[in-house]
């Protein structure tokens, strides 16, 4: 078999820009950094790459406009600050991209909206149409209406959901650090999955005004990889960083080639298999408050694949849900195992947990598929993102 050839240029990219790059301590925006990124996006688009920009900074802009000096803000305060800052943020992007004759469009999303299958498809179709029109979609969470329990939590995960939704080739997470470090403070150049060691070495938000942090970015990368999307985490302040990312792709995506030391950032290369559309939606439905905790036997069975979660393996239930609602399936110590759609309500599951499927069927008269807690057809294993490098064939 012939040796692998470098892959062509990236066809579709989701680019997430963090608050630390947009916000400024002296002005309403860091125009120098943002202008440089805009020019890089323009070059990407001129070369035929479709781009979706996920931008933080609305709350930060509102802070500047209102001279808000406190580090912490309540949910209502953040919602009000976002309402003030979002049009200002869009105004800057509109102005900068207009200099290059590029139209932009504002797309505000909520987690609850994406957990409805039809709304999920509507959002996907809107993004696809904008890209077909060569309009740059600028995505943010709709902070002014979302409640605490229904937030994505940060724009890293929002960007991962969008990247999976539109079949992006790469998710680019720009922050103020150049790469991910391992436990010995060495930069990681390329990885084929997100290991527990990387999670352990990662930190939280760099400041009280940031909602993410490296752990958040690694979770977003893990979710993107489950949907077949490769990712890179790097600094948005590096000179010509977007051009360098485009140039690096044929090297880092080829398992036969060793990334050189000057490759920017940390790259996470996904496998070639992608989740089907419905399972992408299930993964996008990750709930923050509905959890099913399972015993070790159930965990081992689920991780073998093609197994449903039976009531007998359920130890504890957190939150309230109905049949068909999204739930997280976790180990006893709350480490995520899978994401799925409940087949039994929380009331039913609390009644039948620890009991066999036969007992459930006899008591409620349901057939096997209807008596499981979560059916394997309605489940996505989270651990699938921790994959091995592809096997090379000569």
Q: Per residue of the chain (394 residues), what is the pLDDT tens digit?
A: 333 444 457 899 999 998 889 887 666 688 899 999 999 999 999 999 999 999 988 888 888 888 887 777 788 888 888 899 899 999 999 999 999 999 999 999 887 767 677 887 888 899 999 999 999 999 998 866 655 444 555 789 899 989 988 889 999 999 989 999 988 888 999 998 888 888 888 765 544 444 558 888 998 998 888 888 999 999 999 999 999 999 999 999 988 889 888 899 999 998 766 667 677 778 777 655 789 999 999 999 998 877 899 999 999 999 998 888 889 999 998 888 998 889 888 998 998 898 887 777 777 665 545 678 998 888 888 854 444 444 333 3
Q: Please return the burial class of 187, using the count of CB atoms within 10 Å of its CB with bins 0-12, 13-18 and 19+.
A: middle
User: pLDDT digit string (tens) for 326-375?
Assistant: 899 999 988 889 988 898 889 989 988 988 877 777 776 655 456 789 98
Please indicate, yes or no, whether the overall pTM of this predicted structure exceeds 0.85: no
Chain Cα centroid distance, residue 338: 15
- pLDDT number for residue 207: 47
- pLDDT number for residue 277: 66
- Specify whether the CB–CB gap between 236 and 18 falls below 8 A: yes
- pLDDT number for residue 368: 46
Helix (H, G, I), strand (E, B) or coil at 302: helix
Sign of CA dihedral 73, 25, 88, 46: negative
User: pLDDT digit string (tens) for 24-35?
Assistant: 766 668 889 999
Kindly list the structural domains of the chain, giving each domain's residue range(s) and its CATH number in brackets, ordered by start: 12-268 (3.40.1160.10), 287-384 (2.30.130.10)
Encoding tokens for residue 380?
């996505």
Residue 224: which of 278, 277, 170 has the closest Cα?
Answer: 170
Give the CA angle between residues 92, 93, 96 to the nearest 5°: 85
Alpha-carbon gap, residue 97 to 46, rounded angstroms = 13
- pLDDT number for residue 172: 98
- pLDDT number for residue 361: 72
Q: Please return the burial class of 23, using the count of CB atoms within 10 Å of its CB with bins 0-12, 13-18 and 19+.
A: buried
SS (H, E, C) 47-114: CCCEEEEEECCHHHHHHHHHCCCCCCCCHHHHHHHHHHHHHHHHHHHHHHHHCCCCCEEEEEECHHHH
Task: State the DSSP code for 181.
Answer: B
Task: State the DSSP code for 311.
Answer: G
- pLDDT number for residue 383: 59
Sign of CA dihedral 336, 338, 344, 349: negative
Residue 385: which of 227, 276, 203, 165 has the closest Cα?
Answer: 227
């Amino acid at each position: 078999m012939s040796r692998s050839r470098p892959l062509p240029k990236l066809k579709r990219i989701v680019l997430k820009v963090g608050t630390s790059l947009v916000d400024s301590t002296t002005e309403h925006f860091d125009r120098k950094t943002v202008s440089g990124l805009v020019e890089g996006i323009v070059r990407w688009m001129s070369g035929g790459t479709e781009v979706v920009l996920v931008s933080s900074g609305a709350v930060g802009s509102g802070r500047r406009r209102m001279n808000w000096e406190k580090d912490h803000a309540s949910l209502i305060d953040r919602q009000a600050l976002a309402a003030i800052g979002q049009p200002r943020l869009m105004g800057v992007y509109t102005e900068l991209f207009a200099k290059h004759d590029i139209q932009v469009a504002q797309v505000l999303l909520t987690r609850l909206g994406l957990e409805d299958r039809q709304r999920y498809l509507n959002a996907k179709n809107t993004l696809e149409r904008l890209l077909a029109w060569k309009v740059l979609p600028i995505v943010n969470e709709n902070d002014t209406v979302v409640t605490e329990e229904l937030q994505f939590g940060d724009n890293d995960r929002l960007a991962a959901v969008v990247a999976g939704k539109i079949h992006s080739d790469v998710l680019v997470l720009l922050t103020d650090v150049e790469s991910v470090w391992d436990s010995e403070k060495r930069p990681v150049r390329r990885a084929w999955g997100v290991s527990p060691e990387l999670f352990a070495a990662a930190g939280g938000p760099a400041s009280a005004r940031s909602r993410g942090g490296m752990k958040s970015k690694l979770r977003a990368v893990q979710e993107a990889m489950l949907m077949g999307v490769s990712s890179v985490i790097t600094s948005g302040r590096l000179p010509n960083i977007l051009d360098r990312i485009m140039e690096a792709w044929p090297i880092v995506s080829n398992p036969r080639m060793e990334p050189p030391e000057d490759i920017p950032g940390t790259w996470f290369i996904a496998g070639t298999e992608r989740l089907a559309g419905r399972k992408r939606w299930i993964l996008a439905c990750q709930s923050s408050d509905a959890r099913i905790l399972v015993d070790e036997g159930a965990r081992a069975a689920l991780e073998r694949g093609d197994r449903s979660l039976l009531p007998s393996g359920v130890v504890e239930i957190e939150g309230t849900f109905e049949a068909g609602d999204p739930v997280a399936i976790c180990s006893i110590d709350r480490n995520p195992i899978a994401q799925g759609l409940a087949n039994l309500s929380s009331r039913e599951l609390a009644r039948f947990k620890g009991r066999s499927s036969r007992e459930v069927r006899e008591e409620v008269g349901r057939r096997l598929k209807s008596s499981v807690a979560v059916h394997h057809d309605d489940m996505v294993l989270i651990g699938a993102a921790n994959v091995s490098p592809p096997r090379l064939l000569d």
